[in-house]
A and B are shown apart, each in its own frame.
Chain A
Amino acid sequence: MTFVVEVEDNRKLEQLTKQLNKQIDVLKVSDITDKAIVARELAMVKVLSNPQIRSEIQGIIEPFRASIIDVSKESITVQVTGKSDKVDALIDLLRPYGIKELARTGLTAFTRGHQPQVTEFKPYSLLK
């Protein structure tokens, strides 16, 4: 599971990690905030559209490498994957056309296979 959490400071972050670790079913918790990661979110956006503006929308979504996955008389559904800010940007561009429905998965992420050497010592990883 990937969580994106806003924390005030390192003390709170440390508590958060420890509380998660304390759950009996949790095997491992890693904070990947400062790691090299690949992160993706998937969103589906149902936008009001008619045949006239369909190609206009096509033009907007193309640079985002989004795709149209459903078409009807009054609407089209766009699927986009990527980092959250990219998804946000596309949604902002589609908003003027009228968004009927919107579903986002939230972010999921992996650390990259190759990690650049980290020299900085994390002060909050003090246990074990």
Chain B
Amino acid sequence: MKAGASVKEQTTVQTGADLLVHALIDQGVDTLFGYPGGAVLPIYDAIYRAKGSFDHILPRHEQGAIHAAEGYARVSKRPGVVIGTSGPGATNLVTGIADAMMDSIPLVIFTGQVAKGVIGTDAFQESDIMGITTPITKHNYQVQDLEELPRVVKEAFHIATTGRPGPVVVDIPKDISASIHNKKIESDFHLPGYQPTIKPNPLQINKLHEALLEAKKPVVLTGSGIIHSEASSELIEFVQNYQLPVASTLLGLGAYPGSDDLFLGMAGMHGTYSANMALYECDLLINIGARFDDRLTGNLEHFAPHASVAHIDIDPAEIGKNVPTAIPIVSDAKAALASLNEKKVYVLDHQDWVAKLEGNKKEFPLWHDQPEESIVPQWLLQKVYEYTNGEAVVTTDVGQHQMWAAQYYSFDRPNRWVTSGGLGTMGFGFPAAIGAQLGDMSSTSVAIVGDGGFQMTLQELSVLQERRLPVKVIIVNNQALGMVRQWQEKFYEERYSESIIDVQPDFVKLAESYQIAGYRFDSQKEVETKLPEILADDQPALIDCRVLQKENVYPMIAPGKGLHEMIGVKR
């Protein structure tokens, strides 16, 4: 873009894009993740003229922008803001939009659109992004008139960040962002059809309180709703008051301190024996902010078969969706827990149960092989935990390494754990780490990725090169699509169809070509001697860790099986 005199003159002119920029500033937005193109040229021009107002992160692919925005949102607790051009720019964002929808991540996504007059004519770079994103957004808008723009932006942020968070798309035709205006435009909004229930019904809270007093085998299941509503301290108080055992979903990790005695671990397909058996045997299951995903429940017939289920969720549609619920509580998790904590605390008659679960925890811990020299992935994750004192922000991609990270990196605080749970999006981990780093510059972001998934979005190394962000990329390199290979080994008689990939780039050289320090470790010794220093450094780094290919994630609930039918519980 040309700087100089013309830029100065333009600053007095107000375009639709300027309105957008002002609306973003009003929302307190200071970081944008976006990629320019024809239909957003007016918006990029306004951003240029508003220089200093935003830190604009330019990824090398729109998918990188949106996953970075997700990582940013997850860690900073602020909405991620994304800009993409029409057509291919918008469609490149689709995977991230779907990902954010599944994992309830607040994003506001601005897409350019062809001018209003040519919508529907298959104009250059036209795509029906409204039609495409309707099923994968919390809400979407196509701005039809300049006068709507400020209100729509306000509504979009409101909808994305309140109630159950999620992605909102705002599609802006180019003629609207380019058009000139000179009057004051109202931005007040009223959404009569959108009034999330925040406060719990006191009668239902009483019911849960009473159920608690009668329970012999209570267990709490923590989901990411607790993290979204910032309810960890209320949760800890509640759990400690009644000495309740806690199991977590994948996304709920960090809501309750992982190192506490009452914490049984992650439950579900690759959950711990003690967590899964607690869900199987309990007589009162208190689900707080989890959505009973199939990867958690296994075969529904065997899920908590003896339990009365209480479910606290801000989204009424989650309650009773998969599991019949005796005590439904539509509420923000923080408000519900605060009400529960106001009730009289009793000593429960459940010591035997707690003792049994703690016994399970000791008798059936996570296990893995421990050869002399080679790097075992589970061991590697434990080392990463050790060397970062459990203080890093950990993002993952999808596959075996993701499950090992969930199992072996213990989270004591919320907002340290960023992973693609619902959609299971390969390519998520590395760009998410960039966004997470920007969302919290006081911690180091460590991206735990597989060699497969990393190659889906590795072009974002350019962003590290440009920004010198201290992100550490650890490739858990098994030269395979490990999770696929594991399923083929277990359920397809070792027919490794398209899952072993021995052809790889030289990751060290790849890093170096982006002026990022690259390392390759083949032995435990190298990890032990070099990794601590690399993780403590304030520069980006990529570490290619060659791990044993045939390691499997255990324990495991095979597809179609119940919580009590785990395999690989013991060596």
Residues of chain A having any CB pair with chain B under 8 Å: 11, 14-15, 18-19, 21-27, 126-128
Expressed in whole angstroms, the minimum distance between the Cβ of A69 and any Cβ of chain B is 33
Query: Which residues of A have CB within 8 Å of B159?
Result: 24
Query: Which residues of B have CB within 8 Å of A27?
Result: 192-193
Given that A22-B315, A24-B191 are known contacts, is A128 also in contact with B320, CB under 8 Å in the complex? no
Contact A126 B191 (CB under 8 A): no
Expressed in whole angstroms, the minimum distance between the Cβ of B137 and any Cβ of chain A is 10
A18, B315: Cα distance in complex, Å: 9
Can you spell out 6 A-B residue pairs with CB atoms less than 8 angstroms apart? A14-B320, A15-B321, A19-B317, A126-B328, A128-B197, A128-B316
The 5 closest A-B pairs by CB, nearest first: A18-B317, A24-B139, A27-B193, A24-B194, A127-B316
Contact with A along B523-552 (1 / 0, CB 8 A): 000000000000000000000000000000
Query: Which residues of B have CB within 8 Å of A126?
Result: 319-320, 328
Expressed in whole angstroms, the minimum distance between the Cβ of A20 and any Cβ of chain B is 9
A60, B461: Cα distance in complex, Å: 77
Expressed in whole angstroms, the minimum distance between the Cβ of B24 and any Cβ of chain A is 21
**CB-based nearest B residue for A16:** B317
A46, B328: Cα distance in complex, Å: 53
Interface of B is mostly: loop
Contact A24 B317 (CB under 8 A): no
Expressed in whole angstroms, the minimum distance between the Cβ of B79 and any Cβ of chain A is 16
Query: Which residues of B have CB within 8 Å of A25?
Result: 193
A11, B330: Cα distance in complex, Å: 17
Q: Is B233 on the interface with A (CB-CB < 8 A)? A: no
Q: Is B259 on the interface with A (CB-CB < 8 A)? A: no
Query: Which residues of A have CB within 8 Å of B320?
Result: 11, 14-15, 126
Given A22-B315, A128-B201, 20 more A-B residue pairs with CB atoms under 8 Å apart are A14-B320, A15-B317, A18-B317, A19-B317, A21-B316, A22-B316, A22-B317, A24-B139, A24-B159, A24-B191, A24-B193, A25-B193, A27-B192, A27-B193, A126-B319, A126-B320, A126-B328, A127-B319, A127-B330, A128-B197
A21, B315: Cα distance in complex, Å: 11
A22, B196: Cα distance in complex, Å: 9
Contact with A along B314-340 (1 / 0, CB 8 A): 011101110010001010000000000
A18, B164: Cα distance in complex, Å: 14
Q: In B109-161, which residues have CB < 8 Å from any A CB?
A: 138-139, 159
**CB-based nearest B residue for A126:** B328
Given that A127-B328, A127-B330, A128-B201 are known contacts, is A23 also in contact with B317, CB under 8 Å in the complex? no
Q: In B210-245, which residues have CB < 8 Å from any A CB?
A: none
**CB-based nearest A residue for B329:** A127
A11, B328: Cα distance in complex, Å: 14
Expressed in whole angstroms, the minimum distance between the Cβ of B381 and any Cβ of chain A is 38
Expressed in whole angstroms, the minimum distance between the Cβ of B292 and any Cβ of chain A is 13
A26, B191: Cα distance in complex, Å: 10
Contact B330 A23 (CB under 8 A): no
A11, B320: Cα distance in complex, Å: 7
Query: Which residues of B have CB within 8 Å of A15?
Result: 317, 320-321
A126, B316: Cα distance in complex, Å: 10
Expressed in whole angstroms, the minimum distance between the Cβ of A22 and any Cβ of chain B is 5
Expressed in whole angstroms, the minimum distance between the Cβ of B38 and any Cβ of chain A is 30
Q: In B145-190, which residues have CB < 8 Å from any A CB?
A: 159
A22, B330: Cα distance in complex, Å: 13
Expressed in whole angstroms, the minimum distance between the Cβ of A30 and any Cβ of chain B is 14
Contact A128 B330 (CB under 8 A): yes
**CB-based nearest A residue for B168:** A24
**CB-based nearest A residue for B138:** A24
**CB-based nearest A residue for B159:** A24
Query: Which residues of B have CB within 8 Å of A24?
Result: 138-139, 159, 191, 193-194
**CB-based nearest B residue for A124:** B320
A27, B192: Cα distance in complex, Å: 6
Q: In B198-213, which residues have CB < 8 Å from any A CB?
A: 201
Query: Which residues of A have CB within 8 Å of B317?
Result: 15, 18-19, 21-22
Query: Which residues of B have CB within 8 Å of A21?
Result: 316-317
Query: Which residues of B have CB within 8 Å of A19?
Result: 317
A128, B196: Cα distance in complex, Å: 11
A61, B197: Cα distance in complex, Å: 52
Q: In B286-318, which residues have CB < 8 Å from any A CB?
A: 315-317
A27, B194: Cα distance in complex, Å: 8
Q: Please tell me which one of the listed residues B193, B201, B316 contacts residue A18 in the complex, with CB atoms under 8 A apart.
A: B316
Expressed in whole angstroms, the minimum distance between the Cβ of A87 and any Cβ of chain B is 32
A127, B200: Cα distance in complex, Å: 11
Expressed in whole angstroms, the minimum distance between the Cβ of A19 and any Cβ of chain B is 6
Query: Which residues of A have CB within 8 Å of B193?
Result: 23-27
A19, B321: Cα distance in complex, Å: 10
A127, B330: Cα distance in complex, Å: 7
A27, B201: Cα distance in complex, Å: 21
Query: Which residues of A have CB within 8 Å of B321?
Result: 15
A18, B318: Cα distance in complex, Å: 9
**CB-based nearest B residue for A20:** B317
**CB-based nearest A residue for B194:** A24
Expressed in whole angstroms, the minimum distance between the Cβ of B115 and any Cβ of chain A is 26
Expressed in whole angstroms, the minimum distance between the Cβ of B407 and any Cβ of chain A is 33
Expressed in whole angstroms, the minimum distance between the Cβ of A81 and any Cβ of chain B is 31
A18, B330: Cα distance in complex, Å: 12
Expressed in whole angstroms, the minimum distance between the Cβ of B335 and any Cβ of chain A is 15
Query: Which residues of A have CB within 8 Å of B139?
Result: 24
A19, B318: Cα distance in complex, Å: 10
**CB-based nearest A residue for B163:** A22
A11, B317: Cα distance in complex, Å: 11
